[in-house]
A and B are shown apart, each in its own frame.
Chain A
Amino acid sequence: MIRPELVCPAGTPAGLRTAVEAGADTVYCGFQNATNARNFPGLNFTPQEMERAVGHAHDRGTKVLLALNTFPPAGKFDLWRDAAALGAEMGVDAFIVADIGVADHIAREHPGARLHLSVQAAASSPEAIRYYCREFGVKRVVLPRILTVPEIEALAAEIPCEIETFIFGNHGLMVEGRCSLTNYVTGLSTNMDGVCSPAADVHYDRDTEGTMTTRLRDVTIDRFGCAETAGYPTICKGRYHAPHREDGYYAFEEPVSLNLAKLLPSLMGAGVHAFKIEGRQRSRAYVRKVVGAFRRAVDDVMAGETPALDDLVALTEGRKQTEGAFKTKKWR
């Protein structure tokens, strides 16, 4: 059985140090601009912070992956080119890319660099993955969260690269890297500006009875009664009225988080090389608890023991968790 790499999020330098301390094998992070898909205010790394963070991680035997997982608009490629040059100079261990132009640039200009294919590339078929491996030398694919464990096992036999799967965090099943819902409402693009539901356009209103209304610009996403748990203010997790439906319903996805703690042994048996924890936008408290829990769980499985799984439900969106498509395609 392969000992899987635990790939953990870091939204800030302090978050990176927390992830390293909690047992991350690898940490992924991004610069403070549109080159990564968590371009949120107050988040991410300046070049100086990134350089120090890479040094800190490497001194402790932890790898650093640089997320360059957005799609450069025409005429704005310099930002991605400069970020790649900085990452190469700092000695990051791999670039996480989604766009074929970015992949091609790094493959040509930084030939020694290791490339991981982001989930944002939405590559889930052997043909698509083999294309990226052949053309750009991609060494690992981060799979979209749409495949069952047996499908992942079958895929592993047909591709010449490593597989990384999400095991905890946001459960977004839109065709990743193609979702334009935020763009439709705000004019900003999740895939090119790196921001889904930009905070500047999010509004929360609370009435005297404690009901909270969530809006993205002028679109009401959800309304939570005072006793209801809440979710993220993203359109895909919204509850809407529709013809032939008496009440509001979750038209796309429900506010729920992925938690594959119980599937770790079968994923490891299926040949998954790396487990990814989502959440660069989350706090150090989240990183400490989630990374620590999965560190212990992975080590237990490798030791042939039944993993002691911490209860992480308090950290999940809407306080609900699912094994999603990994367990069954009928998960909804």
Chain B
Amino acid sequence: MTDVPTHDSGGAHAATGWAPPLPLFLLQPVLARVVRRVASRYPELLERLGPVRGARFLIDPRGLPFTLLLKPDPDALLLRACPRGRPPAHDALIAGRFLDLLELVDAAEDGDALFFSRELTITGDTEAVVTLRNALDNVEGSVAATVAGMFGPPGRAALAALRRAARRGTPEAQP
């Protein structure tokens, strides 16, 4: 495990230093469904991860009021929302704008370019992160669309709005 501080940079109440407790427990069953759906839809993704399937990735989508802990182990899949400021034990941290991370998941953005421009931050187990990036890049079709499709027309509409915002790169891009 790596002791890596999270980057609490985008919470809605960052300016005041105070945030109401988030009802993250409501999100957990949804996230569990999401990771199971992605794993079953894209088995080649987990296969390509090979020995790093047991790694714990802390994903910090700047602009969202929580972080995500991912463990892509097919025998113990985990995707869980975590409160900012209280990072769980993890092996690697990936931090970036939510919409950039969304584009990375769908291979619509180049991770190295985001790294060069400092819009993407990586700490901890670099090998695990590189493996995850390469495995995701080999997935054809849209992981984000698969997830959005789980929530029917509202999910798809929300994704379309996010992508429009990402293309514009306007403040609206911040969820």
Residue positions of A touching B, CB distance < 8 A: 11-15, 17, 40-43, 198-200, 202-206, 212, 224, 226-232, 255, 281-286, 289, 314-319
Contacts and interface: CB of A to CB of B under 8 A. Distances in A.
B168 to A, nearest CB: 16
A211 to B, nearest CB: 10
A215 to B, nearest CB: 10
The 5 tightest CB contacts between A and B, nearest first, are A42-B134, A42-B131, A12-B138, A199-B127, A41-B131
B116 A317 contact: yes
B107 interface: yes
Contacts of B133: 42, 283
Contact of B112 (A12, A204, A282): A282
Interface stretch (B27-35, B47-55, B81-89, B154-162): B47-55
Contacts of B121: 204, 206, 212
Residue of A41, A212, A230, A231 contacting most chain B CB atoms (<10 Å): A41
Interface string B77-116: 0000000000000000000000000010001111111011
Interface string B125-153: 01101111111011110000000000000
A247 to B, nearest CB: 20
Contacts of B131: 41-42, 199
A315 B7 CA distance: 25
Contacts of A229: 116-118
B111 to A, nearest CB: 6
B137 A12 contact: yes
A297 B107 CA distance: 24
Given A14-B140, A199-B130, A283-B110, 12 more contacts: A12-B138, A202-B126, A202-B127, A204-B122, A212-B118, A230-B116, A230-B117, A230-B118, A283-B111, A285-B109, A286-B112, A318-B116
21 contacts: A41-B50, A41-B134, A42-B49, A42-B130, A42-B133, A200-B127, A202-B127, A203-B123, A204-B121, A204-B122, A205-B123, A230-B117, A231-B116, A283-B133, A284-B107, A284-B137, A285-B109, A314-B113, A314-B117, A316-B116, A317-B112
A217 to B, nearest CB: 12
Nearest to B104: A283
A100 B157 CA distance: 58
Contacts of B108: 285
Interface of B: 7, 48-50, 52, 103, 107-113, 115-118, 121-123, 126-127, 129-135, 137-140
Contact of A283 (B7, B112, B122): B112
Contacts, number: 102
Contacts of A224: 118
A212 B95 CA distance: 13
B54 to A, nearest CB: 14
Given A11-B137, A202-B126, A230-B115, A42 B132 contact: yes
Nearest to B121: A206
Contacts of B52: 41-42
A159 B20 CA distance: 73
A286 B111 CA distance: 9
A319 B140 CA distance: 28
Contacts of A13: 138
A13 B52 CA distance: 20
A18 to B, nearest CB: 8
Contacts of B48: 12, 42
A283 to B, nearest CB: 5
Given A229-B117, A230-B115, A316-B116, A285 B110 contact: yes
B123 to A, nearest CB: 5
Given A212-B121, A230-B116, A286-B113, A40 B107 contact: no
B137 A14 contact: yes
Given A202-B126, A315-B110, A283 B137 contact: yes
A17 B113 contact: no
Contact of A40 (B118, B123, B134, B139): B134
Contacts of A12: 48, 134, 137-138
B140 to A, nearest CB: 5
B112 A14 contact: no
B113 A315 contact: yes
A214 to B, nearest CB: 10
Nearest to B48: A42
Residue of B48, B113, B140 contacting most chain A CB atoms (<10 Å): B113
B133 to A, nearest CB: 7
Contacts of B107: 14, 283-285
A174 B95 CA distance: 33
